[in-house]
Structure 1
Amino acid sequence: MWNPHLISEDVGVGFNIWKLRRTFTRVYSMRPLPSGALFRCYPGLWKVFYNDKDRPNRYLLAKELINHPDAEDLEIIDGDVEEKSGQGPSLFDNAVGMFSSLNRFMKAISK
């Protein structure tokens, strides 16, 4: 069923739906991450899980959040988990972290 107020002759349905999607509440979400998963079942909180190194194919809860975490939040949580595990990040992880920090810095000064 289509709402005729969402259709525009200039841009069609897509742009109006894109603007409207900000008002929707995600009731169920499960997204795999490189080192874990992100999960939510409404009305619960957003849960960030990370891989359990001792038990393959199992996850441990890293953090619960009220709002949907963005990429920066997930990177900080992942860094905290690696610190607690006692295993230092690899050279590649350090390089990726440095570039993502530089990217955040460039976005901040360009505003």
Structure 2
Amino acid sequence: MKGAHLYLYTSKPRPLIMWNPRLISEDVGVGINVRNLRRYFLSTFTTVYSMRPLPTGAVFRCYPGLWKVFYDDKDRPNRYLLAKEFISRPNAEDLEILFGDVEANSEEGPSLFSQAASIFSSLNRFMKAISK
């Protein structure tokens, strides 16, 4: 599960809102040029709402606020603590620095089922935390 993303494109003619857009086409391909084109295209949008669950936390933004990275509170189940705020969307390197490489620290990586269960659990906890 990749999370929820809402993009707003404010061009002169009219705004455009996309909810979890699928920007991949088999007609175009999947090479580096396509990724760069997609990255450039999305950079013309303003992300107004984004929620991405992680195995040990979540990344959240509600425009005009900052990007917020949360991690699970070990002392209080089903709660999150703010790890850090970013002006721009945190990339994989930023998240790795904050959370560390979880899979590298374990001898055996988690199973696909436990990864999926962890993501759904994390998303559920995060939704409860932000709704209070």
TM-score when normalising by structure 2: 0.48
More strand by share: 2
Structure 1 residues 66 and 91: alpha-carbon distance in aligned structure 2, compared to 1, 3 A threshold: closer
**1:59 — aligned with what?**
80
Bigger radius of gyration among the two? 1
Within the candidate set 33, 36, 43, 2:57 is matched to 36
Distance 1:20 1:91 in 2: 32
Indicate yes or no: 2:47 matched with 1:26: yes
**1:83 — aligned with what?**
none
Distance 1:30 1:90 in 2: 20
Within the candidate set 68, 71, 75, 2:92 is matched to 71
What secondary structure is seen at the aligned counterpart in 1 of 2:47?
coil
Query: Which amino acid in structure 2 is aligned with residue 93 of structure 1?
Result: N
**1:56-89 superposed Cα distances (whole Å, 9 cap, x missing partner):** 110000000101000110010114xxxxxxxxx9
**1:2-51 superposed Cα distances (whole Å, 9 cap, x missing partner):** xxxxxxxx96xxx7x83532200100001101110000000100000000
Aligned pair count reads 74
Q: Percent identical across equivalent pairs?
A: 67
**2:67 — aligned with what?**
46
If asked which structure has higher relative contact order (CA below 8 Å, sep 6+), I would say: 2
Within the candidate set 84, 90, 105, 1:93 is matched to 105
Structure 1 residues 91 and 47: alpha-carbon distance in aligned structure 2, compared to 1, 3 A threshold: closer
**1:108 — aligned with what?**
none
- Which blocks of at least 5 consecutive residues in structure 2 are unaligned? 1-26, 29-33, 108-132
- Which blocks of at least 5 consecutive residues in structure 1 are unaligned? 1-9, 80-88, 96-111
Detail structure 1 runs of 4+ shifted over 6 Å in the superposition. Answer: none
Structure 1 residues 90 and 32: alpha-carbon distance in aligned structure 2, compared to 1, 3 A threshold: closer
Structure 1 residues 68 and 55: alpha-carbon distance in aligned structure 2, compared to 1, 3 A threshold: same
